[in-house]
Amino acid sequence: MDLITTTLNIEKYVLGLQQMPKSLEVVLSPALLSEVDIVGKNVVVIDILRATSTICTALHHGALGVKPVTHAEEAALLKDIGYITAAERNGEKLPGFDMGNSPFECMDGKVKDKYIALTTTNGTKCIEMTDGAANVLSGSFLNISSLANWLIDSPNDIILFCAGWKDKVNMEDTLFAGALALKLKSFVEIDCDSAQMAMQIYRNNSDRIIDFLKDSSHYKRLSRLHHEEDMIYCFQEDIMDCVPVLKNGILVAY
Ligand code: 3SL
């Protein structure tokens, strides 16, 4: 967040124009989601490598919306009504779909003015787990400051929901949850050890993110599949300002 926005937000709080405190919790894996109450809260789904970074990129490059779906068959059916179909499992594009899950596939004009039906191993499944939330947003480093400002301006409590990998905790989503929690820290109450841990991890590694992630399982998986460029891309901060928000089951740019 830039200095002017931070100052304005602090002024709003001091003048009593902003409700305080709202709470912030971090959920480190889908297996832990049932332990928190998401009803009426703003839930940020985080799948940094790569689903939620790809969603943000698609909207930035002119896609009208991204519909997250759990099953590949469901995504395939949406082709009949004009959707671009995108499908990934275990890091690889599924045959028969228009795209996989690489952000670079959204940059050649193909997604402009189109709706995309996207299914991925973890990220899209998590978006579909957020029934009852007041708002569902998709998180990425690419738009982290705009996302933080959106959350600061909303009165609702916040859940940062890390997709992880197949119910396991992962390093990259935890790292991002820490980075976002640090941006929100002055505006929320944090009584959550997962959030404290995530912030500590980001603080200790923010100047060496790629090095830090080299030991992570998904870094190794995506490296084996030659997706290093995607990873470098996904760790750029604030290169776009759209905030993907779920409206009637479709993520659209706010
Ligand atoms: O699991 C997911 O949702 C994907 O983002 C994984 S991958 O980066 O496309 O392998």
Per-residue pLDDT for 18 more than 90? no
**With respect to CATH, is domain 23-253 assigned 3.40.50.300?**
no
Q: Determine the pLDDT at residue 1.
A: 40
Per-residue pLDDT for 46 more than 90? yes
Percentage with pLDDT > 70 across the chain: 92
Cα of 134 from ligand 1 centre, angstroms: 25
Angle (CA) 32 38 44, round 5°: 80
Contact call for residues 28 and 194 (beta carbons, < 8 A): yes
| Residue 196, amino acid | Q
Confidence of residue 224 (pLDDT cuts 50, 70, 90): very high
Q: Determine the pLDDT at residue 6.
A: 46
Q: What is the pLDDT of residues 148-189, one digit of tens each?
A: 999 999 999 999 999 999 999 999 999 999 999 999 999 999
pTM of the model: 0.92
3-state secondary structure 55-123: HHHHHHCCCCEEEECCCHHHHHHHHHHCCEEEEEECCEECCCCCECCCHHHHCCCCCCCCEEEEECCCH
Per-residue pLDDT for 144 more than 50? yes
Of 122, 167, 176, 224, the residue with max ligand 1 atoms within 8 A of its CB, to mutate for a pocket test, comes to 122
Q: What is the pLDDT of residues 98-133, one digit of tens each?
A: 999 999 999 999 999 999 999 999 999 999 999 999
Domain range summary for the chain, segments of one domain joined by +: 23-253
**Using CA positions, which residue lies closest to atom 7 of ligand 1?**
91
Say which residue the tokens 């609702």 belong to.
Answer: 156
